[in-house]
Amino acid sequence: MQPLITITDIGRKYVIGSETIHAIKSVTLTINKGEFVALMGPSGSGKSTLMNILGCLDTPTKGEYILNGINVSQMTDSELAEVRNKEIGFVFQTFNLLPRSSAQDNVALPLVYAGVSKKERDDRATVALTNVGLANRLHHKPNELSGGQRQRVAVARALINNPSIILADEPTGNLDTKTSIEIMGLIEEIHAKGNTIILVTHEEDIAQHAHRIVRMRDGLVEDDYQNKDVKTVAEKV
């Protein structure tokens, strides 16, 4: 079976004035369809840069990135935007919701870029919000929702295009402990349905929900192993 993600000798450097910063030195990694991977590392380890490359938000300065059979390493910004909309669902720490739009309109936003009709957008957004337990919050704006509800809207938006990957960047970073557990339970449910999850976190207890943990340090993969002690929300309750 062809891996969903193959990155080979990926590197990313930034030139700032006379200084060259190697955010990623060399990373080679494969991720298969249906995996639940936690990407960990301290500040400056390169995990955020790697996340940006995996999410097609940035391009590497060396190496090759094959996503779902497509070489995205050297794509233009517009080509990357198209890949992002089709292949990747994002869940961010800060939710990234449009403040003046309803939950339904926020979830439907990726479908606007995909050219889907208004009725189909609304129908699909309603289903997606129902699936994350927000059927009674369709027309609420973000400031009328709790932090946990806002993150559920973000998760529904990430799923709306049936993407190849869900990329969750510190998805519980702005949430209290109880709400964090609820959101991780939701992410576990999404994974159980066959979705591929890449979770970026610096929190050890959040990473323990993943089935595989990749640890980075100084722009390199320090460790990559299967997590034999997966902690699910069901076990914690």
CA 33, CA 28: separation in Å to the nearest integer?
17
The whole-chain average pLDDT of the chain stands at 91
| Cβ contacts of 202 within 8 Å, gap of 6 or more | 40, 41, 42, 43, 170
- Please name which of 180, 181, 110, 103 lies closest in space to residue 143, comparing C-alpha atoms: 103
pLDDT tens per residue across span 34-57 = 999 999 998 889 998 999 999 999
pLDDT band at 203 (very low <50, low <70, confident <90, very high): confident
- Please name which of 171, 146, 144 lies closest in space to residue 157, comparing C-alpha atoms: 171
Which two three-digit tokens encode residue 214?
């990749």
CATH superfamily of 5-236: P-loop containing nucleotide triphosphate hydrolases (3.40.50.300)
Parse the chain into domains and list their residue ranges.
Answer: 5-236
pLDDT tens per residue across span 140-181 = 999 999 999 999 999 999 999 889 899 999 888 888 888 889
CA 179, CA 191: separation in Å to the nearest integer?
18
